[in-house]
Amino acid sequence: MAWEQARENPPPDFPALPPLAPGRYTNDEFYELEQRHLWSQVWLYAAHLDQLPDPGDYLLLEIPNLSAFLIHGADGEIRAFYNVCSHRGAPLVRAPSGNSASLRCTYHQWTYDTQGDLIAVMDERDFPAPFDKSCLGLQAIRCERWGNWIFVSESEQIEPLTKWLGAINSEFHQFEIEKLRPVEIKHYEVQCNWKLTMDAFLEVYHINGIHPKTVAPSLDHRGAVMTLFPNGHTRMTCPTNATPKQSGARQLQQAGSMPRITNGEIASTYHVSHNVFPNLITPTSDSARQFLMFWPITKTRTRVDVAHFGADWGAGERPSGWEAYLEFWDVIMAEDLQFLEWQQQAVLSKGFKGYRLSYMERRIYYAHEAIDKAIGVSHIPEALRVDPRLARFIEQ
């Protein structure tokens, strides 16, 4: 960080990054490629275990274009299934969450147990023998846990979740992530492409411009260290200012009785934020950790979910400090999201020639490289590809 603060130029071996093609945010074909090859080939955050703590608890997933649910089985396992009845495809789960000893399709009443096995078929006599119910269970989706965080993947090839997370998983051992408790999930919607939205959270170059009173007083963006990991994941570590007590978040924490979370030495001293490819960013502070997720609803509409996690407060209501803290986050989010619709207009405009990224913004460039890799570069029209420049900077 001291080195970054003192430098007068990017490191001499750092390449100039070619501007990103505006079409990456506007082109229908590119959006279709993402839909077909990206989202189904990665691990995606689904829920926290506390959202379905008991056998029979189920939860409809809110991942766009994936009709699926999680269910806590009678055997204690959490599983994910497509929300598709094996008979004619009606949904098994329609409520956002609930508890049931079995799942009965309300169309023709086929019934499944909490492990997804088909256990009862109405008028089974009408299906010619041999009719093997054991082959007609619900279709499972891969579902694995990172601490108490539950992730799903439609890919059969992708490596196990914690292996795929690699260095991020190892780093997180110091954070005692099992002790974090979900507090609230906030949703925001923006009329722009999901990548434009996420790009805004992958750098701190913008903090003096749009967060002069909220984030900027506590961070020294000029000392930020960006680390690139395999599989598209990254980390940012940013020094805090010499007068961190001016930070709004710290003031709120002191005023509001929020218990501290375990963050280890580095994340307690500096601002640390990881990006789990493709769409999860997890900043942390003394009092809370967030999962920010960027979901494409359409090519030009994004839902941002911000899941807040805090230290366990025991029985009863959450500490009063949370109200002010969540309001503070709303202010920061409004600051961060304010230009995105304009930028979406810009990338459509003839007046915009390319999306320029500096050394400080290299995590954005790397995320785009990883998106192309996930899609398969040969699928992407040449004019829309990112020219890979950052492979040699990846920390193994």
Please, are residues 211 and 332 in contact by the beta-carbon 8 Å criterion?
Answer: yes
Nearer to ligand FES, 138 or 360 (CB): 138
Q: Judged by CB under 5 A, which stretch of 42-50, 153-161, 168-176, 332-340 contacts Fe ion?
A: 332-340
- Judged by beta carbon distances under 5 to 8 A according to partner kind, the member of Fe ion, ligand FES, none in contact with residue 173 is none
Nearer to ligand FES, 116 or 232 (CB): 116
Q: Other C-beta atoms within 10 Å of 144: how many?
A: 18
Please, are residues 183 and 288 in contact by the beta-carbon 8 Å criterion?
Answer: yes
Which residues have C-beta within 8 Å of that of residue 207, sequence separation ≥ 6? 215, 216, 219, 221
Q: What is the DSSP letter of 154?
A: -
Nearer to Fe ion, 339 or 393 (CB): 339
Among 171, 336, 369, 372, binds Fe ion (CB under 5 A): 336
Among 49, 90, 136, 210, binds ligand FES (CB under 6 A): 90
Closest CA to 342 of 190, 139, 141, 152: 190
DSSP string, 332-385: HHHHHHTTHHHHHHHHHSTT---B---GGGHHHHHHHHHHHHHH-GGGS-GGG-
- Judged by beta carbon distances under 5 to 8 A according to partner kind, the member of Fe ion, ligand FES, none in contact with residue 87 is ligand FES
Among 7, 88, 187, 245, binds ligand FES (CB under 6 A): 88
Sheet holding 44-48, edge to edge: 44-48, 149-153, 140-146, 78-82, 68-72, 57-60, 97-99
- Judged by beta carbon distances under 5 to 8 A according to partner kind, the member of ligand FES, Fe ion, none in contact with residue 63 is none
Interaction residues for ligand FES, span 364-383 (CB under 6 A): none
CB of 233 to Fe ion, least distance (A): 20
Give the tokens for residue 333.
């989010």
Q: Is 203 in the site for Fe ion (CB under 5 A)?
A: no
Nearer to ligand FES, 125 or 350 (CB): 125
Torsion angle, CA of 29/32/36/37, rounded to 10 degrees?
60
Please, are residues 238 and 220 in contact by the beta-carbon 8 Å criterion?
Answer: yes
CB of 210 to Fe ion, least distance (A): 6
CB of 219 to Fe ion, least distance (A): 10
In the chain, the amino acid numbered 28 is D
- Judged by beta carbon distances under 5 to 8 A according to partner kind, the member of ligand FES, Fe ion, none in contact with residue 336 is Fe ion
Q: Judged by CB under 5 A, which stretch of 147-155, 317-325, 330-338, 370-378 contacts Fe ion?
A: 330-338
Closest CA to 355 of 202, 218, 134: 202
Nearer to ligand FES, 89 or 160 (CB): 89
Distance, CA of 152 to chain centre: 12
Site map 105..124 versus ligand FES, x via CB under 6 A: x-xxxx--------------
- Integer Cα distance of 346 and 343 in angstroms: 5
- Judged by beta carbon distances under 5 to 8 A according to partner kind, the member of ligand FES, Fe ion, none in contact with residue 105 is ligand FES
Closest CA to 173 of 182, 183, 162, 160: 162
CB of 51 to ligand FES, least distance (A): 26
Measured at CB, which residue is nearest to Fe ion? 336
Q: Which residues bind ligand FES (CB under 6 A)?
A: 85, 87-90, 105, 107-110
Q: Which residues bind Fe ion (CB under 5 A)?
A: 336
